[in-house]
Amino acid sequence: MKNMQARLNPRRLKSGLAWGAGAALMLGAASSQAQQWPSKPIHLIVVTPAGGTTDLTARKYAQFAEPRLGQPFVVENRAGASGTIAGNYVKNAAPDGYTILVGGLGQSSIFVKTNAVEVEKELLPISTLNVGAFMVFVRDSLPVKTMQDLIAYAKANPNKLNYATSNALTLLDAEALKLKTGLSYTAIQYKGAAPIVPAMLANDVDFTIDSLPTFAPHVQSGKVRVLMTAAPTRSSALPNVPTAAETGIPGYAAGFYLGLWAPLKTPNDIIRRMSTETTAVMKMPEVVEFMKQQGTESVGGTPDELLATHNAFQRTLAEAAKASNFEPQ
């Protein structure tokens, strides 16, 4: 009887009912928040300066996502520190679906010593925007026509080449290339791909590894040459450019993905809604064609698929970092 009375103690019942009511209110508030989302502008926090592939991808996505979600998208470029400035900004933002990171790999501890953001642990995946391969670009006045020419030039002129890197990812890609070919260079850091172009046109740097969009107009004008694409197959945008394997560097690959990530504790309903809408946007013919012109593949997909893509890239880069004794910057 005493046990029964204890179980039926009014104070305990009152406390239990209050807790249950509180939990129901919290769940109801979260559900209501998700149902009302979005009710104000959504901020896309981009890890690079304006003008590069990440920025162009974010702006094209925003253009087509706005009418689907009924709210403006504000693109904010918070570049620097290999993406950690943007990554930490989003990590510490309110988990309400209004602050979203556009990025991928560069801000992880593989690349940076301080303030690293491990997106797979510290953010929530939403959807993949696109994937793409990097290419090797050289200034037109450099006396090389092929990738083998560049390697021979570097060996004949040790450390004379200046390599422009826009982040720790492209620096690691160059280290992996050095490991496979014996290429030597002096690395010069820039805040994004866009500032590399004028430096290359002014002959301040000799070559870089990056994606096509920023360099495309100068490739077309003949002021910049493409020596190879670091992908298993040739790019449809530049079908005459050979792959790494075709240039005599089998097994070398360099590329990237861009995805959308939200702060932890963002309601699942918001994540699912944005993932669904993002996939629809990335399947639109106009968006698919735009991404193709940028030398990338439009993707979309679920949060789990984004996480799987991230983890695959992360494993490959971690192995390359270990093999080349790459030190985080």
> How many domains is the chain partitioned into structurally?
2
Region of 19 please: left (phi>0), alpha (psi -120 to 50) or beta.
alpha
- 91 and 183 assigned to the same domain: no
Domain end marker among 247, 278, 301: 247
- 20 within domain boundaries: no
21 located within any domain: no
User: Phi-psi region for residue 295, left (φ > 0), alpha (ψ -120 to 50) or beta?
Assistant: left
Q: What is the pLDDT of residue 82?
A: 82
> 3-state DSSP call for residue 228?
strand
In a domain, 56, yes or no: yes
What is the per-residue pLDDT for 87? 97
Q: Are residues 229 and 141 in the same domain?
A: yes
83 and 223 together in one domain: no
Shared domain for 224 and 200, answered yes or no, is: yes
Reading across the β-sheet that carries 162-165, which strands appear in turn?
186-189, 162-165, 207-210, 135-139, 224-229
The long-range contacts involving 230-236, CB below 8 angstroms and separated by at least 24 positions, are: 230/133, 230/134, 230/135, 230/136, 230/173, 230/254, 230/255, 231/133, 231/255, 235/133, 235/135, 235/295, 236/292
Is 30 part of a structural domain of the chain? no
Q: Of the candidates 305, 296, 196, which has an alpha carbon nearest to the alpha carbon of residue 256? A: 296
Judgement on whether residues 230 and 148 belong to the same structural domain of the protein:
yes
Residues 128 and 259 in one domain: yes
Domain membership of residue 49 (yes or no) is yes
CA distance 242 to 171: 22
Q: Are residues 290 and 272 in the same domain?
A: yes
Angle between helices 53-69 and 268-282 (to 10 degrees): 110
Q: Residue 70: CB partners within 8 Å, gap ≥ 6?
A: 38
Q: Is residue 280 part of a domain?
A: yes
What is the model's pLDDT at position 8? 44
Local structure of residue 271 (DSSP, 8 states)? H
Kind of pairing between the strands at 162-165 and 123-133: unpaired
Beta bridge partners of residue 262, listed in sequence order: 124
Kind and range of the H or E run holding 46: strand 42-46
By the 8 A CB rule, do 48 and 79 touch? yes
Q: Is 168 a member of any domain?
A: yes
What residue has token string 């019942």? 13
Domain boundary among 201, 221, 247: 247
Q: What is the CATH number of the domain that holds 70?
A: 3.40.190.150
| Maximum Cα–Cα distance across the chain | 96
- For residue 218, give the CATH number of its domain: 3.40.190.10
Domain boundary among 247, 273, 294: 247
In terms of domains, do 128 and 148 share one? no
Within this chain, do residues 44 and 110 fall inside the same structural domain, yes or no?
Answer: yes
Asked if the structure places residue 3 within a domain, the reply is no
- Let me know whether 127 and 265 are in one domain: yes
Same domain, 73 and 208: no
- What DSSP element (H or E) covers 247? none
Return the CA Rg of the chain.
Answer: 24
Integer Cα distance of 83 and 168 in angstroms? 9
Question: What are the per-10-residue average pLDDT scores of the chain (329 residues)?
Answer: 46 50 51 77 95 92 98 96 93 98 89 91 97 94 97 94 89 90 93 90 96 90 96 87 94 90 98 98 97 89 95 85 82
- Give the residue numbers spanning the domain of 319: 40-132+255-323
Q: Note whether 148 and 286 are same-domain residues.
A: no
pLDDT in tens, 159-210: 899 999 987 788 889 988 998 999 999 999 998 888 999 999 999 999 999 9
What is the rounded distance in angstroms from the CA atom of residue 320 to the CA atom of residue 98? 35
